[in-house]
Amino acid sequence: MMKAMPIVLLMFALALSVQSSMNVQDETELVFVGSNTKEISQQVIIKEISFDNYLAKLEKQHTAQSVNNTFQAFTLAVPINKEGNATVDRIFFVDKKSNRVFEIYGLPDSHRPFDDLKFVRNNILRFDRWSSPHNGKRYEFDLRRKKLVEATSFIEKEYVDLIKRTQTEDSQRAIKP
């Protein structure tokens, strides 16, 4: 009797015909399984903030600078309790022409850190947020227009290959008399 297929296997089925990409920072090959832009853009807010002394004292975790030097992006691990032993990653960018600071709110998996922050074009910021050790989402924001332009789910290719091997082995065992 066949067991119910976990969601990861369903994602794997979707991934079979999509492109893969290499994450240069840590050499993890990713398989992109579908866009979530429409759903996520409805909950994302980009808001100008007053960068107060409290935030200014925190150490920047990841930073990226646009090639034409018009934008700078960075993340901060902001304490969420008095002891400071629990933090949440927050993502900011500075429009260097106007010297205004903005924060991006409303991204899923708010308890997870940001990764691989970089500019792919002068005004397009790209970063990943892993939702588990094997999958996550890649985001691209147009900072000039202050808009999410792409949110794509991905799975680590090595994990997809493992699932595929496991399915093949299970199928072979099921066929044997």
pLDDT tens, residue by residue, 27-63 = 678 888 888 899 999 999 999 998 777 788 888 989 9
Residues 115-144, mean pLDDT to the nearest whole number: 93
Q: In the predicted model, is pLDDT for residue 21 greater than 60?
A: no
Residue 15: CA count within 13 A, CB half-sphere: 26
> What would the two tokens of residue 131 be?
């939702």
- Output the pTM of the full model: 0.75
In this predicted model, what pLDDT tens digit does every residue of 88-116 receive, in sequence order?
A: 899 999 999 999 999 999 999 988 999 99
Please state the domain extents for the chain.
11-168
Q: Determine whether domain 11-168 maps to CATH 1.10.3470.
A: no
Q: How far apart are the C-alpha atoms of 175 and 177, rounded to whole Å?
A: 6
Q: Write down the pLDDT at residue 120.
A: 96
CA distances from 19 to 22, 29, 74, 139, 164 (A): 10, 11, 28, 16, 17
Q: 76 has which bridge partners? A: 60, 90
Q: In the predicted model, is pLDDT for residue 87 greater than 60?
A: yes
* Band (175; pLDDT cuts 50, 70, 90): low
Residues 9-26, mean pLDDT to the nearest whole number: 40
Q: Write down the pLDDT at residue 105.
A: 94
DSSP 77-93: EEE-STTS--EEEEEEE
